[in-house]
Amino acid sequence: MKVILKLILLFVVLFTFLPSAGLAGQDNDKTLSPYFVVKGGDTSVDRFPLKETKADVHISGIIADVMVTQRYVNEGSRPINARYVFPASTRAAVYGMKMKIGDHIVTARIQERKAAQRTFEKAKEEGKSASLLDQERPNVFTMNVANIMPGDKVEIELRYTELLIPTTGVYEFVYPTVVGPRYSDTPESGAPESDKWVKSPYLREGNKPTSTFNIAVDITGGVPVEDIACSTHKIKTVWPDRSTATVILDESEADGGNRDFILKYRLTGKKIHSGLMLYRGNDENFFLLTVQPPRDVKTSDIPAREYIFVVDVSGSMYGFPLDISKNLLSNLISGLRPTDRFNIVLFSGRSVTMSPESVSANQENIDQAIRLIDGQHGSGGTELCAALQTALSIPRRDNVSRSVILVTDGYISAEKEALQLIRENLNSTNFFSFGIGSSVNRYLIEGVAHAGQGEPFVVTKQEEAAATAEKFRNYIASPLLTGIAVSVEGFKVYDVEPEKIPDMFAQRPIAVIGKWSGSPEGKMTITGQNGKNKFSQTFNVADSAPSDKNSALRQLWARKKLTNLSDFNTQHGGTENKEEIVNLGIKYNLLTAHTSFIAVYEVVRNPETKSQNVTQPLPLPSGVSNFAVGGGMQNAPEPEFYLLLIMATLIIMVAALRKIGWLVKNSRI
């Protein structure tokens, strides 16, 4: 009888475990989830067609212009269609794409998204080579390439521009290289098309990227450039003269495409580019005004403050990212003033609060907070919205300035819902964000700060935690310029962004962009309240001549407008502003949530139209463990493990059946 019971128990364990690993067939209720790539397969197909990504960056003043080249090669013996998910800056205005096949170059055209998809599918079915660029998030794009023939070398060239606004006098250029895996609780069967990219293949922890990475950055400062540094990659710097520099990757960094490339520099004397820039176009004219807020203020003018730390302790934070978070939070909390109050909300699949209400920043409470954080190890999903709701529901005192500080890698797909929640509570709370890791979800990290009128911070390695905590403390202790307004006299301006300028800290300049008409003359004045003092600064428009070098202002204005229309202000997939977004994308030749770039080589190259679909696998971001992939079966074993498990079970079953037969024969049952 014991043998029979053991056999039954074995069946129960085996067939309970296997479905959780996704081996029980199709499950219509399973959620979108990244997965580990399975090696092997058809040897006639090149499984990893993307061979190289390189970026050529030109920074002039506060404008960066970037050309990205992706090189695909079909080294197999069959035609393939390739799909690749990749990131970009959240501020990027993508304004151009070209496809090169051999010596033939096709310039992509912008189309409404669904129309572009139809054009691409038609070209693929006709056997023509084509490429399609879609925006899935403001910082996540998908590239689809059709009918890459055996031996083909295909190059896709993307062009984008972005503004670089310094903080504490430091300019920072970030080139994201990999999209981290996203947690999603959306059922796959009902997921919108714009979320399908979440189900992407990943290489396992420690595996090198399957494509090489290279980048070169030219900096023209106008004044001497200094303190160029890159903490993420080894670089070499060449100085043609004191005001220009060229930064290239060290040869050892060919496999550096698993973490963000972050380059920082200063201008001599901590100067920043401020003042008025003008551009005169064929049909529209644009301006950009940047102003440094005043620094002087009395400590007595800074109100009492409360800080609620919302900390991600989910599976994707396991190991290296959570270790950084512990160090960062210890530095942040230990540096609070005795007059401050604070609380902690830890979240993964559920939320845990340190105290029902915020407590004083005395040593006893600080020690308790650090012990709570040190006890975390990282596991489970990433339910951010519930954690933010928990933080906002904590009782608050009158006449206290409340700030929520989010600490996370941002690996969720429900960014829109979180940002909407933040916007709904702006009248009572400011939001700051700390991105933890080598390739954080900057759409969420920067979106939280944008929507919450705060500032984003990113910590990529352990040794940066203390310095970043100090930077945050200095930032929030700096004077605040409130009630900011722009007035114009004798200069016709319109379509100004932002419509309402949020309160600004002295560590970061004010930036206003818009259109102008008529003659470039008159005055522009910035006013505001600095503590108990009034602030005012006036610029004579005639002192700034329009220049063709400022042509990027056209795309940058449109990108700013799109940010307010779509990126942070509507539910993902919403169509409230779709027509206006499409019109902006078409007019300014920009990639948006509702417009795509499509390039078709109008030659039938694959008449049989038989080809293999290949999805390019992504490396796990440096420092991210296997626990970030696989949904409920995180860190799942290799498929061979399950085959061995089944074989072992069959052997045990045969032996058990023989034993049962012997027992029956000898009448022992």
Q: What is the mean pLDDT of residues 315-322?
A: 84
Within-domain flag for 106: yes
653 plus 600 within the same structural domain: no
Q: Are residues 239 and 356 in the same domain?
A: no
Higher local confidence (pLDDT), 114 or 274: 114
Residue 601 has pLDDT above 50, yes or no: yes
C-alpha 407/C-alpha 469 separation (Å) is: 12
pLDDT at 546: 95
Q: Are residues 235 and 347 in the same domain?
A: no
Alpha-carbon Rg for the chain, nearest whole angstrom, is 28
- Domain ends where: 421, 444, 477? 477
Q: Are the CB atoms for 237 and 230 separated by under 8 Å?
A: no
Residue pair 155/102 in contact (Cβ under 8 Å)? The answer is no
Mean pLDDT of 117-134: 96
Residue 582 neighbours by CB distance under 10 Å: 19
Q: What is the pLDDT of residues 300-309, one digit of tens each?
A: 556 678 899 9
Q: Under a CB-based contact definition with an 8 Å cutoff, are residues 278 and 546 in contact?
A: yes
Same domain, yes or no, for 320 and 265?
no
Q: Pick the residue with more confidence: 445 or 503?
A: 445
Strand spans (E) along 138-243:
140-148, 153-163, 171-175, 201-202, 212-220, 225-229, 235-241
* Residues 313, 446 within the same domain: yes
The highest-confidence range among 110-114, 272-276, 360-364, 393-397, by mean pLDDT, is 110-114
Tens digits of per-residue pLDDT, 351-374? Answer: 889 999 999 988 899 889 888 888
How far apart, in whole angstroms, are the C-alpha atoms of residue 46 and residue 429? 52
Confidence of residue 17 (pLDDT cuts 50, 70, 90): very low
CATH of the domain at 228: 2.60.40
Average pLDDT over residues 544-565: 92
**Per-residue pLDDT at 570 exceeds 60:** no
666: confidence class by pLDDT, cuts 50, 70, 90: low
Asked whether the beta carbons of 65 and 565 are under 8 A apart, the reply is no
Look at phi and psi of residue 38 and say left if phi exceeds 0, alpha if psi is from -120 to 50, else beta.
Answer: beta
- 77 and 171 inside one domain: yes
Decide if 195 is inside a domain: no
Does 190 reside within a domain? no
pLDDT at 286 over 90: yes
Same domain for 219 and 325, yes or no, is no
Q: Which residue is it, tokens 């005395």?
A: 362
Strands 285-291 and 235-241: unpaired
Q: Examine the domain organization and report whether 362 and 450 are in the same domain.
A: yes
Residue 354 domain-assigned (yes or no)? yes
Number of domains present in the structure of the chain: 3
Task: Please provide the average confidence, as pLDDT, over all residues in the chain.
Answer: 84
For the cut 70, the answer to whether the pLDDT of residue 627 exceeds it is yes
Q: What is the pLDDT of residues 127-174, one digit of tens each?
A: 999 999 999 988 899 999 999 999 999 999 999 999 998 888 899 999
Q: Give the C-alpha separation, 262 to 251, whole Å.
A: 17
Residue 27 has pLDDT above 70, yes or no: no
Q: Tell how strand 510-517 and strand 50-60 pair up.
A: unpaired
Asked if the structure places residue 621 within a domain, the reply is no
- Asked whether 491 and 516 are in contact (CB, 8 A), the reply is yes
Cα-based distances in Å from 149 to 43, 123, 145, 289, 617: 15, 14, 11, 50, 20
| Any domain includes 104 | yes
Whole-angstrom distance, CA of residue 471 vs CA of residue 464: 10
Q: How far apart are CA 487 and CA 538, in angstroms?
A: 9
| Domain that residue 594 falls in | 38-177+212-256+260-269+590-615
Averaged pLDDT for residues 239-264: 93
User: Has residue 572 been placed in a domain?
Assistant: no
Q: Are residues 362 and 223 in the same domain?
A: no
The strand pair at 341-347 and 305-312 is best described as parallel
CATH code assigned at 427: 3.40.50.410
Final residue in a domain of this structure, among 456, 477, 498? 477
pLDDT tens profile 381-396: 788 889 999 999 999 8
Judgement on whether residues 113 and 154 belong to the same structural domain of the protein = yes
Residue 140: C-alpha distances to residues 94, 177, 460 (Å): 12, 11, 20
Q: Which residue has the tokens 């999603």?
A: 184
How is the chain split among helix, strand and coil, in percent rounded to 5?
A: 30, 35, 35
Least confident of 94-103, 408-417, 548-557: 408-417
Q: Specify if 325 maps to a domain.
A: yes
- 330 and 463 co-located in one domain: yes
Residue 356 preceded by cis peptide, ω within 30: no
Q: Are 397 and 454 contained in the same domain?
A: yes
* Residue 33 pLDDT: 82
- Alpha-carbon distance 299 to 311, whole Å? 29
**What is this structure's pTM?**
0.80
Report the pLDDT averaged over residues 244-265.
94
Where among 477, 496, 511 does a domain terminate? 477
Backbone angles phi, psi at 383, to 5 degrees: -95, 80
